[in-house]
Structure 1
Amino acid sequence: MTDRSKEVAVPTRRDRTLKVIKGSRSGAAGRPAQRRVVLRPVRTPIEDVLERIDQEPAEDAAVGGVPTGTADPERVEDRPDAADAPGDDPAAADDPAPASAGPGRRRLLVGLLVALLAGSLALAGLYGHRWYGHRALEEARQGALAAAKQTSVDFVSVSAASVDRDLQRIVDGATGEFKDEFTRGQAQVRTAVVENKVESRGSVLRAGLVSGDRRRAVVLVAVDATVKNAKAPAGRAAHYRIQLDLVHDRDSGQWLVSRLQFVG
């Protein structure tokens, strides 16, 4: 009957293991059993790792038929157009303002600027029109006031030495009802001035616009005059308050008196 052999591992300096196989305790003819020593290399985990590392391909070696340094056409991240694909780029997905929004934003800004410019021009035109209308109205009123002052002075300033010229000046500044009445009595006025040797000179004390627009106006004028005639060669003072209605003549651009009356 033979005993089962027993293996004993003995480590050496080279990390090798001796496997000793002992024979049976009792051999044939009572001789001691012979020991048979067999040297078998035993692989350690470190050697396995080193051998695997030695067998792994280098960085420039081919892996699966494709060199490590080259792009795999089947891999999405290595394709040249992978970065252009929408939705594959996390940065593009997180970007709240895509590149396509740039032109749209610029168009929006341009539209807003155009709208603001148009509104500013319209507002400027509106205020310009109002300013022009206000200025035109003020100029018209000042023109009517000046015409009323001049006509009042002309009406009370008559001299026998220049009667024809003085009366014609009054006619030139009149229109409508006032012109018709004065023209009908012009001959009688001339006769009275010449026969009585009248010399009258007047000046405006005050004048005020009662009402007026760009076409019509009513003005009240206070006039002082010094009147000389045959009965009062030294002259005497006279005070008049005259109300004049004026209209603006489009053809000549002048203010003409359509009605004249003494009110005090």
Structure 2
Amino acid sequence: MSVTTDSDLDETTEGETTDGDTTVDETADAETAEAGEHAPEPGRSWRRRLLGVGVALLLAGSLAASGFLGWQLWQDHQVTRSGEQAQAAAVQYAQVLTSIDSAKVDENFNQVLDGATGEFKDMYSQSSMQLRQLLIDNKATAHGVVVESAIQSESKDKVVVLLFVDQSVANSAAPDPRIDRSRVKMTMEHVDGRWRASKVELP
């Protein structure tokens, strides 16, 4: 009969593992090592974050630039469209302004005043009574035709147009019509939804 001593029990406990098993401490060390392999390096993580911020800023800058360019193109389109409309209105108004029939003088004057605004409207209104009587007394007639026009300057609400006008003129003293050629500088302003002449010059 054999007797088991305390020292024998201690040795058995310490060497209890078999050849195919791993101790708890060894397993924990392996897991820690594996986690360490997959953990991002501090420098690499910082670079990734910086790259992400840079891409976001670049995208935001691109969107802002695209938005500004789009707005600028829209503004340019609006100005161009205003210029075209004002030029067409100036051509039509120049022909009204340079065409007159002493038999329909009041109708002619109303058409002129309807297309005028500001300084030119005030000036024409003040001189219309004297001009009216002069046209009637001389039985004057005139017919204007715009042969060429061009925009000198343009904005959304104000456009300056240059016009070349051929005007056929006749009166009681000279019944055979003669052609007067004039260069007209007309300032058009957008007022109450319409393009009207605010200034008419003969440069």
Per the normalisation by structure 1, the TM-score is: 0.59
Map 1:129-140 onto structure 2 (within 5 A).
129-140=71-82
1-structure distance, mates of 2:55, 2:154:
43
* CA deviation string 1:72-102 (max 9, x = no partner): 34xx43x2x33221xx45xx66x5x635889
| Amino acid in structure 2 at the alignment position of 1:83 | A
Q: What is the match of residue 18 of structure 2?
A: 67
By percentage of residues, which structure has more helix? 2
> 2:45 matched to 1:98?
no
1:144 is matched with 86
Deviations 1:153-175 (A, max 9, x none): 11111123432222111111212
Larger Rg: 1
Q: Give the equivalent residue in structure 2 for 1:254.
A: 194
Q: How many residues align?
A: 190
Alignment partner of 1:245 out of 165, 181, 187: 187
Structure 1 regions of 5+ residues with no counterpart? 1-62
Q: Which protein, 1 or 2, shows the higher relative CO under an 8 Å CA cutoff with sep ≥ 6?
A: 2
- The residue aligned with 2:61 is 119
Give the match for residue 126 of structure 2: 184
Distance, in Å, in 2 between the alignment partners of 1:100 and 1:161 is 97
What value does the CA root-mean-square deviation take over the aligned residues?
Answer: 3.3
Take 2:162 and 2:178, find their aligned partners in 1: how far apart are those partners? 23
Q: 1:64 to 1:182 in 2, by over 3 A?
A: closer
Task: State the identity %.
Answer: 31
C-alpha separation between the residues in 2 aligned to 1:66 and 1:83? 18
TM-score, length-scaled by structure 2: 0.73
- Which residue does 1:83 correspond to in 2? 30
Deviation at 1:204, TM superposition (A): 0.8
Query: Residues of 2 paired with 1:259 and 1:70: CA distance?
Result: 105
**Larger deviation: 130-139 or 120-129?**
130-139
Matches within 5 A, 1:156-195: 156-195=98-137
